[in-house]
Structure 1
């Protein structure tokens, strides 16, 4: 069995952002040389997410507004976490809702995604540098 590791780095200009990373993940699969296996993609920060969904702008709008209703940023005093001087409790909650990671199948040397499926990085406390781990194992 072989393994491969790569990191992607992000620094979004906005607090909340969704970034399509399907092509970067597919490129890592090609570099790995793995033909049959699994690809783990996970956000290495507790206020960011990796998930699979459709690449459609209306959906990104819906995600952003839905998450803000579930875990509004303001007032920051509503969260005990923010009593420590932080202002990002909502970002931790949004990350929990959207998920930390995805595990993707690799078949015949390619990501084995369903119709319309794309891989995304979700940022909920942006404007600083964060990373995503890609870990590939297989044969």
Structure 2
């Protein structure tokens, strides 16, 4: 069994943003050499999320609107958490969207369904953020031979 770990660093210019990180995860998988296994991708911040969905701008706008209805940013005074901070809404949004995803690795590729992509969801940005990629598995297929591509 082999293990590979990589930290992605992003600078998020706005408070909220969805970023397709699939190409960066695929690059990490290629660097790992792992052909069969699992790939974990998780946000290393309690006000951010990693999730899988379609890369479609209308859907992203709908998610943003829906999350803002569930946990509106303002007024800040509506939240007990907001004292020295103003990010209670970001904590709640992350709770709804989740912390991480796990994707099967098959024949050296992320084993997605049609349209699936990995996204980083930021809910309290305007600073540097980190995402961890952890891949575990084998460099060969189950039969001991390198898989065909």
TM-score (norm 2): 0.91
- Give unpaired runs (5+ residues) of structure 2: 139-149
For 1:3 and 1:64, locate their aligned partners in 2 and report how far apart those are by CA, in whole Å: 35
- Give unpaired runs (5+ residues) of structure 1: none
For 2:11 and 2:66, locate their aligned partners in 1 and report how far apart those are by CA, in whole Å: 23
For 1:126 and 1:8, locate their aligned partners in 2 and report how far apart those are by CA, in whole Å: 15
Instruction: State the Cα distance separating 1:10 from its structure 2 match.
Output: 1.3
For 1:59 and 1:10, locate their aligned partners in 2 and report how far apart those are by CA, in whole Å: 22
Deviations 1:33-87 (A, max 9, x none): 111000000000000000000000001100111000000000000101003x110
Q: Is the 8 A contact 2:41 2:50 kept in 1?
A: yes
Secondary structure of 1:116's aligned partner? coil
Count of matched residue positions in the alignment of Structure 1 and Structure 2: 138
Equivalent residue number for residue 64 of structure 2: 64
Equivalent residue number for residue 133 of structure 1: 132
TM-score (norm 1): 0.98
Whose Rg is larger? 2
Q: Which runs of 4+ in 1 moved over 6 A?
A: none
Q: Do structure 1's residue 2 and structure 2's residue 2 form an aligned pair?
A: yes
Q: Which has the higher helix share?
A: 1
Q: Is the 8 A contact 2:12 2:129 kept in 1?
A: no
Give the CA RMSD over aligned residues: 0.5
Equivalent residue number for residue 33 of structure 1: 33
For 1:90 and 1:10, locate their aligned partners in 2 and report how far apart those are by CA, in whole Å: 21
